[in-house]
Amino acid sequence: MAVTLGEVVAHTAVTVDGPVSAVPTAEPGSAVPNGELDAAAAPALVAEIGARARVAARALAGATTAVKDAGLRAAAAGLRAGTARVLAANVLDLDAAGRVGATPAVLDRLALDGPRIDAIAAGLETVAGLPDPVGTVVRGSTMPNGLTLRQVRVPFGVLAVIYENRPNVTADAAGLAVKSGNAVVLRGSGGAAHTNAAIVGLLRSSLAGAGLPADSVCLLDGRGREPALALMRARGVVDLLIPRGGGGLIAEVVRTATVPVVETGVGNCHVYVDAAADEDLALDVLVDSKCDRPSVCNAAETLLVHADVAATFVPAAVRALSARGVRIHGDSRTRALAGADSGEVARATVEDFAAEYLSLDIAVAVVDSLDAALDHIRRYSTGHTEAIVSDSVTAVAAFTAGVDAAAIAVNASTRFTDAARFGFGAEIGISTQKLHARGPLGLPELTTTTWVYTGHGQTVGPGRGRTVGPGPSRPGR
């Protein structure tokens, strides 16, 4: 489902049947927006929030791991204690989404319940238990002149995240930012405005109670496009911007932003069943990749089947997927091989093969060779996750060398492309670009590096006759 900047970022008015006061929003920086900002007011608001976030970032950069971890555990406890508050806010957002005809996929991403809130809190605790990247030495050496040289991980400073109706991202982004020593400015969608405000209010108060700045986590208020546009152009305020949403949102942020951006990816993920595949294993991988949670970016959207196994595998795949409610869009060979089941297979179009469905739909094609599968993937892939099922070492090697993606799955579900399943804890998103990070954006990816070199009076030019270290200083460039 393509999402535009206006749909995702604009805070829309929410009409409720009960009093809005049922969702407390007294916490500064976390209130539900109450007015649309014009082009003149929005930059001032972003500058004011950014200035507070930068002060908080300086404190976070110097905070010990123990202090940051204590803050994250306090935030997790605060979310659990505030479950009723978050659920009350979420009901308002779900009611509003239902009235405007939101799709099941959108409602699923937006909806919270007790177990989901507990899982969000557990994610914060997981992040608290992960190694702190700040201060890690990436590489180092001792120069011939005696200087010791170290490349050290340091926080970016102020992160900004623009995202769609995923309230879990609010807490995930906050937790990862705090642990990596960054302050974060969050710009969620209008469809989750009440839920995000409730979550951010609880996070801010919990962090403050643990001795960290409340402004470590800020929510950008104000309806309309202008606050988001101002955030994208806030050079000197925002050090790194991460958009997380549909292709329309990401494309517009990349076109519009003047601050550094990490693109998180749309997921048109493929499962290729090779001629040398174990067909039972392939069926398990396919069904899990498509059906485990179809509304997320690492769900499979296209199945490619080698012609040598298509006669048996395609009918089996059609039966297994149809039994789980999946709507199949097949090419002519798929429809012919489906046989009696062909009535359940729609005719696939170019648009079907290019689609990120985020629903119980899948496109299916039969290919004559591994090279043909690679050609198809190169044409339609969004560079997220591509999977091969094969017992052939040669085929696997050719596939992994021929695919250009953030993650490649061999005989495993595409659903494993996730920071938690990689053991990284929570993630802000999955980067499909190549600079500066690719794949799940965990803690190390939310840091940059600085070079620290230590000497004993070494100089580049002529000194005062003192010789330091085992060799002469080398000229600078």
CB-CB neighbours of 138 under 10 Å = 13
CB 60 within 8 A of CB 181: yes
CATH superfamily of 269-416: Aldehyde Dehydrogenase; Chain A, domain 2 (3.40.309.10)
Among 178-187, 211-220, 317-326, 453-462, which is the least confidently predicted range? 453-462
Q: Name the pLDDT band for 435 (thresholds 50, 70, 90).
A: confident
Given the candidates 3.40.605.10, 3.40.50.10490, 1.10.3720.10, 2.60.40.1180, the CATH classification of the domain at 7-256 is: 3.40.605.10
As a whole number, mean pLDDT of residues 307-333 equals 96
Cross-strand partners of 413: none
The yes-or-no verdict on residue 13 having pLDDT over 60 is no
Domain extents for the chain?
7-256, 269-416
Q: What angle do CA 355, 168, 258 make, to 5 degrees?
A: 65
| pLDDT tens for each residue of 84-106 | 999 999 999 999 999 999 988 78
| pLDDT tens for each residue of 256-309 | 999 999 988 789 999 999 999 999 999 999 999 999 999 889 999 999 999 999
What's the CA gap between 477 and 467, in Å, rounded?
21
As a whole number, mean pLDDT of residues 387-393 equals 98
CB 370 within 8 A of CB 283: no
As a whole number, the mean pLDDT across the chain is: 88
What's the CA gap between 149 and 383, in Å, rounded?
36
What's the CA gap between 93 and 110, in Å, rounded?
8
Contacts of 21 (CB under 8 A, 6+ apart): none
Question: Given this model, what pLDDT does residue 420 score?
Answer: 81
Residues in the chain: 477
Higher pLDDT, 27 or 291: 291
> Residue 294, Cα to own-chain centre: how many angstroms?
16
Q: Where are the beta strands (DSSP E) in 5-147?
A: 137-142
> Residue 156, Cα to own-chain centre: how many angstroms?
17
CB 430 within 8 A of CB 415: no
- Cα–Cα distances (Å) from 342 to 317, 332, 338, in that order, read 12, 10, 5
- Cα–Cα distances (Å) from 429 to 28, 117, 280, 309, in that order, read 27, 19, 32, 36
| pLDDT tens for each residue of 32-77 | 444 566 667 899 999 999 999 999 999 999 999 999 999 999 999 9
Cross-strand partners of 158: 183
Query: For 370, what's the count of Cα atoms within 13 Å in the CB-facing half-sphere?
Result: 20
**Pairing of β 345-347 and β 327-330:** parallel
Among 19-33, 53-67, 463-477, which is the least confidently predicted range? 19-33
The yes-or-no verdict on residue 137 having pLDDT over 70 is yes
Q: Phi and psi dihedrals of 439, rounded to 5?
A: 90, -160
What's the CA gap between 180 and 443, in Å, rounded?
6
Residue 402's identity, in one-letter code, is G
**Pairing of β 430-431 and β 439-440:** antiparallel
| pLDDT tens for each residue of 215-263 | 999 999 766 789 999 999 999 999 999 998 777 888 889 899 999 999 8
Closest residue by Cα to residue 191 from 19, 7, 48, 51: 7
Q: For tokens 């060779």, name the residue.
A: 369
Residue 388's identity, in one-letter code, is I
As a whole number, mean pLDDT of residues 131-148 equals 96
